[in-house]
Amino acid sequence: MNYLEFRSKLFSLACFSIDQVYAWQPGFDRNNLSRWAKTGLLIRLRQGYFAFPEYKGKQDFALFFANRIYRPSYISLHTALSFYGMIPEAVVQISSVSALKTASFTNPFGEYTYQSVKPCLMFGYGLRSFSDGMALQMASPEKALLDLLYLYPAYNTSRDMEDLRLDEDYLHDDLNKELLLKYCAQFKSKALEKRVQRMITIYEL
C-alpha cells in the first residue's frame, strides 16, 4: 500500500490509532507508520496514535486530539477555564480528566496531561462542535471549576482563591450556581464543599 491510498482513506479522521488501521487492513505493515513519521508524512501523537501534519495549523485540533489519544477523557481544569474566559492566563498544557491513571504526553501539537479521577466522577461534560464537523468532549464551566478545586487541594485558603483570579463578570452572569452546587454534592467530598463555599464567599456569588 502506498501513502496516498492510505491518506485518502484515513485523512478525514484527522488522527487514528494502529487498531483502526488494522480494522481496515488486517495485514497492514506497521513499519510503514514509522517510516512515514520519519519522513514527515505523519506525526506521532503517542505510541500507537498518529495524525496528519496538515492538521497542525488548524484551530482546535490539538484539543480534539486530547480526547482521542487517551480515552475515556474530557478536557477540563485550566484548559477549559481558559476556553470559557474564566481565568486570564493563556494555557500552555492541554489538561484533561480521565478515569484511567494519571498520564502525560508531548508531541508537536502540544503538551497533554491527564488527571485521574474515580469513574463515578466522570460526569458534567459533553460534546462541543468545532471546525470541519468535528466535536470534542469538554467539561461544563461548573464541572471544570470543581475538577480544579478537587484535584488541586492547594487552592485551600482565601488568598489561594483570590490568586485564581476568576473572572467575576463570568461568575455572576454566566456560571450556573445551582448546577455548581448540584455537581459539588456528587463528589461527596467535605474538603471540596469547604473550598466551594470559600470561593462563593470571596467572589460574592
pLDDT in tens, 63-109: 999 999 999 999 999 999 999 999 987 788 999 999 999 999 999 99
Do 169 and 82 share a domain, yes or no? yes
| Segments forming the whole domain that contains residue 164 | 61-202
pLDDT-derived band at 188, boundaries 50, 70, 90:
very high
Do 100 and 48 share a domain, yes or no? no
Do 47 and 123 share a domain, yes or no? no
Question: How far is 146 from 129, CA to CA, in rounded Å?
Answer: 23
Do 143 and 163 share a domain, yes or no? yes
Do 144 and 77 share a domain, yes or no? yes
Do 97 and 110 share a domain, yes or no? yes
- Output the CA torsion sign for 141, 142, 147, 149: positive
Do 49 and 90 share a domain, yes or no? no
Look up residue 119 and give its three cell numbers. Answer: 469513574
The last residue of a domain, from among 57, 75, 99: 57
User: If residue 10 lies in a helix (H) or strand (E), which one and from where to where?
Assistant: helix 3-10
Do 39 and 115 share a domain, yes or no? no
Q: Contact 107/43 with Cβ under 8 angstroms?
A: yes
Q: How many domains does the structure of the chain reveal?
A: 2
Look up residue 69 and give its three cell numbers. Answer: 489519544
Do 24 and 94 share a domain, yes or no? no
Do 47 and 142 share a domain, yes or no? no
Residue 159 φ then ψ, to 5°: -65, -40
Predicted confidence (pLDDT) per residue in 30-73, tens digit = 999 999 999 999 999 999 999 999 999 887 899 999 999 999 99
Do 74 and 43 share a domain, yes or no? no
Do 117 and 195 share a domain, yes or no? yes
109 Cα distance to chain centroid: 13
Measured CA distances, 84 to 25, 110, 121, 167 (Å): 41, 20, 21, 10
